[in-house]
Amino acid sequence: MPLAERNLTVAWAVAAALLFAASLWVPHQSVRVFLDNASWTLALCLSAFWAWRGRMQVPPVERLLHTGLFVGTLLMATGQMVWNLQVALDWNPFPAPADLFFLAVGPVWAATVIRATFARLAKDRTYPASLDFGGAVLALLAFTLVIYLPTGEMRSLAEGAVLVLYPATFLTAAGVGALAIPTVGVRITRSHLLVLLGMLGYGLSWMQWNLMVIHGTVQPGLWFNASFSLSALAFGWGARWLRFEVSADQDYRRQCDQLMNYVPLVSMTLAAITLVLLFIAPDGRVGVQALILGCCLLVLLLAALRQTIVVGLLNRLRTAEAAVLRNEEQLYQVAHFDALTGLPNRRYFEDALERAVADASRYAHAPDRRVALLLIDLDHFKSVNETYGHRVGDALLSEVAQRITQLLAGQGLVSRLANDQFTVMLLRPASRTVLAQRAASLVEGLSRPWELSEVGAQYMGASIGISLFPDDASNSAELVRHAHSALHATKSAGRGSYRFYIEEFTQITRGRLELRRRLHSALQGGEFTLVYQPQLNQQRQTVGAEALLRWSVDGKAVSPDEFIPLAEESGLIVPIGLWVFETACRQVAQWRAEGWQVPVVSVNVSTIQLREPGFTQTLLGVTQRAGVSPAVLVLEITESQLLDESLYAIALDLKNAGFALSIDDFGTGHSSLIKLKRLPVGELKIDKVFVRDIVVDVNDREICATINALARTLGLEVVAEGVETEEQLQLLIKMGCERFQGWLFAPALAPEQLARHWLQRQVPLAVH
Ligand code: C2E
Ligand code: CA
Ligand code: CA
């Protein structure tokens, strides 16, 4: 408080106190009256001054509340001035004009507090809160009236009204103020208590004063007279420092809410007591009785209403809660289970594995606490999917999920990791032997035919990689990684089997990663070369050549079977493939320029390249720049890749542009005759695995014969790949095959070697 204000305050208060003290001692009646009024005037003005000072110092959000409090004190002081005037004029009616000002104070304060309270309440709380306020105030009022009024006599309606209105207005303000604190959750302080005390004090003082007026016992210079000044000072000093902020303390606010729940009960109890009092002391004043009765009934009504609302709110809350729970459950289901197979998904699996590993590591010394991970991958699932479409693929996956679960007979946690990969987590496997048996039974079980309603029996095996914690890995992530390496090893070794993780797999995987890294710079580094393997007809004349990519890292050749998949995975196949095509075209042009007769050159194309937008145009641009016709080029696309129907349009586009298309590795995919007919291809290449055992294996011989027959019917050319022996060649010739490629004739050769040994001069020299 600033010094000037403090000095003023002290002087002011001391003056009021002295005037009051003097009023008690001065014997003269009229001087007493003067001193009383002077003391009241000073106290009420000081109260207004403090309230004004308080208003000046609050933050803007509280300005309105403090304005209301200040206006009340101002009305009070003004009323006192009017009263002084009345006294000076010796005009003493009851009720008096000053009463108008005094009676306005309570409503102003009550309205101000109510406004401030509701401005700080959430919308859904305003309704029950207003019922609480109304009920409590009415109950308080009825109770006050029942104990206050029977003692007095009322001479007129105006008198009765004033008698009722003083307690009604001030006690309403006090009641509302008291309820506002817990309703909003304001931390109660001394200034709140002082303000409430001031309101209550005014109300009680006036109740007593009015009775004294009626009974004619009003006297100047009484101790009682100080009660007005004290109420004014208490209120003013409280308003000077009052803050009306919601407490940040959650616990406190919860306690406030709990307290508010008792308000209707308290109001009803008070109303009930009031009713009892009303009936045991009837005095025949029908109007007031009716008023009190009305108040009590209203209290009951409001309390009942409030309960109804609260019950409604609770019900709504419960419904909302149930909905949230349901949603959460659904969310959990979606987040943790695979929609197709109903099995736990990757996230669920990873969580479970992590927990199992953490659990096992706590008992690391107990050997039976191991966790085994079996990673299952379906062999050739992709081609089934591509051949019969995703619907059949999905049905198959559901079947697989069911079969795995059946085969495990309730042991272990089965989950679907990705597309056609499943995992089985087994806790405490007895031994590796037992695990091996389990894996073998899975492999065997999954290799049995799959009966699918739409497409009949399908054969599709599975490969499994197994890793063990803590034997093979120190944490769950490593366990998964190692199961993957084991799986990879299984697949490389020919699929349809299982493998345990061994340390070497890690090295292999690392090697693959290193290779992949180096592949990125291989193109710029000029590390690629193309070699050409001749294709011959039955007369052993060169009818074409296949361009094959070679990559050497640090002088060591890396097999295309190793790096092409890496290039495809990383998308590098697009620039690499384009380089191959450009180089092959330039080679054709160069051979021509050198005077060699070049039949056709086959180039391998990956589907990833086919999907590149504007692929046909890109290739046409290359041929144009190299000065060769598209007709010299055969694009080889593997069978399994070409079965995706979305590629038909692109294949057609390429054919229309003049390129010839060839289906590579024919027999390994799942082509149906119908699809083959719709494909715009001119050539089939029998995969070398069929050619390899053609002499010894009846099945393979049968397959090769069928392919040749099929090709003839469809008007396609057949190229047999991987011809290594004369016997194979003779068998193939017998089947009607007309073109051959293989080591029997030549491996893939450098361009100049191919030209020198396998190409003919453009203008053959005349032979005598
Ligand atoms: P592919 O298209 O089936 O190529 C034929 C593979 O058989 C070549 O292996 C070739 O060297 C090999 N081969 C040829 N004659 C014989 C034989 O008598 N016996 C045996 N056992 N094998 C023979 P290579 O060059 O290792 O290529 C492997 C695969 O890499 C190719 O199989 C092809 O799918 C892919 N590839 C090679 N170059 C490219 C390329 O430029 N682009 C794309 N996308 N893939 C390529
Ligand atoms: Ca090929
Ligand atoms: Ca091939």
User: pLDDT at residue 284 above 90?
Assistant: no
User: In which band, very low, low, confident or very high, does the pLDDT at 590 lie, cut at 50, 70 and 90?
Assistant: very high
CA of 647 to the centre of ligand 1 (A): 23
pLDDT at 154: 64
Report, as an integer, the average pLDDT of 574-586.
97
Q: How many C-beta neighbours within 10 Å does residue 164 have?
A: 20
Q: Which ligand is nearest to the CA of 559?
A: 1
Length of the chain: 768
Q: Which residue has the higher pLDDT, 289 or 7?
A: 7
Report, as an integer, the average pLDDT of 704-718.
84
pLDDT at 282: 61
Q: Which ligand is nearest to the CA of 602?
A: 2
Confirm or reject: Cβ of 688 under 6 Å from ligand 1: yes
- Contact assessment for residue 236 and residue 198, using Cβ atoms and an 8 Å cutoff: yes
Q: How far apart are CA 131 and CA 340, in angstroms?
A: 55
pLDDT at 689: 85
Report, as an integer, the average pLDDT of 240-248.
90
Report, as an integer, the average pLDDT of 229-237.
96
Q: Which ligand is nearest to the CA of 533?
A: 1
346-503 and 510-756, same CATH topology = no
User: pLDDT at residue 644 above 90?
Assistant: no
pLDDT at 654: 94
pLDDT at 333: 79
Q: Whose CA is nearest to atom 16 of ligand 1?
A: 722
CA of 688 to the centre of ligand 3 (A): 7
Q: How far apart are CA 358 and CA 411, in angstroms?
A: 20
pLDDT at 341: 93
Q: Which two tokens stand for residue 166?
A: 């003083």
Confirm or reject: Cβ of 742 under 6 Å from ligand 1: yes
Structural domain spans, the chain: 3-121+156-259, 346-503, 510-756
CA of 559, closest atom in ligand 1: 26
The values of phi and psi at residue 530, to 5°, are -115, 140
Q: Which ligand is nearest to the CA of 691?
A: 1
Q: Which residue has the higher pLDDT, 668 or 382?
A: 382
The answer to whether domain 510-756 has CATH 3.90.920.10 is no
What residues have a C-beta under 5 A from ligand 2, the ion? 604, 636, 664
pLDDT at 151: 53
User: In which band, very low, low, confident or very high, does the pLDDT at 643 lie, cut at 50, 70 and 90?
Assistant: low
CA of 657 to the centre of ligand 1 (A): 26
| R_g of the chain, CA atoms, integer Å | 50
* Mean confidence (pLDDT) of the chain: 89
pLDDT at 390: 87
Per-residue CA distances from 197 to 193, 194, 203, 515 (Å): 6, 5, 10, 86
- Contact assessment for residue 643 and residue 673, using Cβ atoms and an 8 Å cutoff: no
CA of 604 to the centre of ligand 2 (A): 5
- Contact assessment for residue 730 and residue 694, using Cβ atoms and an 8 Å cutoff: no
CA of 600 to the centre of ligand 2 (A): 14
Report, as an integer, the average pLDDT of 331-338.
82
Q: Which of 79-83, 192-196, 300-304, 504-508 has the lowest mean pLDDT?
A: 504-508
614: burial class by Cβ within 10 Å (0-12, 13-18, 19+)? exposed
Confirm or reject: Cβ of 128 under 6 Å from ligand 1: no
- Contact assessment for residue 429 and residue 413, using Cβ atoms and an 8 Å cutoff: no
Report, as an integer, the average pLDDT of 46-55.
96
Query: Which residues lie below 8 Å from residue 220, measured CB to CB, with a gap of 6+?
Result: 23, 29, 32, 33, 35, 36
User: In which band, very low, low, confident or very high, does the pLDDT at 767 lie, cut at 50, 70 and 90?
Assistant: very low
Confirm or reject: Cβ of 748 under 6 Å from ligand 1: yes
CA of 521 to the centre of ligand 2 (A): 24
Confirm or reject: Cβ of 664 under 6 Å from ligand 1: yes
pLDDT at 365: 62
CA of 639 to the centre of ligand 1 (A): 14
* pTM of the full structure: 0.47
Amino acid at 375: L
Q: Which two tokens stand for residue 167?
A: 């307690």
CA of 748 to the centre of ligand 1 (A): 9
SS3 string, 56-76, reads: HHCCHHHHHHHHHHHHHHHHH
Q: How many C-beta neighbours within 10 Å does residue 249 have?
A: 12
**Which fold would CATH assign to domain 346-503?**
Alpha-Beta Plaits (3.30.70)
Residue found under tokens 């070049």: 598
Range with top average pLDDT, 250-259, 343-352, 503-512: 343-352
pLDDT at 354: 93
Range with top average pLDDT, 121-135, 301-315, 572-586: 572-586
Confirm or reject: Cβ of 639 under 6 Å from ligand 1: no
Q: Which of 121-135, 236-250, 562-576 has the lowest mean pLDDT?
A: 121-135
CA of 609, closest atom in ligand 1: 44
User: pLDDT at residue 672 above 70?
Assistant: no
Choose among 198, 189, 247, 235: nearest CA to 66.
235
| Sign of the torsion formed by the C-alpha atoms of 522, 523, 529 and 533 | positive
The values of phi and psi at residue 537, to 5°, are -100, -175
Q: Which residue has the higher pLDDT, 158 or 51?
A: 51
pLDDT at 626: 96
CA of 458 to the centre of ligand 3 (A): 24
- Contact assessment for residue 707 and residue 668, using Cβ atoms and an 8 Å cutoff: no
**What are 82-104's pLDDT values in tens digits?**
999 999 998 888 788 999 999 99
Pocket test for ligand 1, best of 529, 611, 721 (most atoms within 8 A of CB): 721
Q: Which two tokens stand for residue 139?
A: 């109950």
pLDDT at 668: 66
**What are 451-480's pLDDT values in tens digits?**
888 788 888 889 999 999 988 888 999 999
User: In which band, very low, low, confident or very high, does the pLDDT at 768 lie, cut at 50, 70 and 90?
Assistant: very low
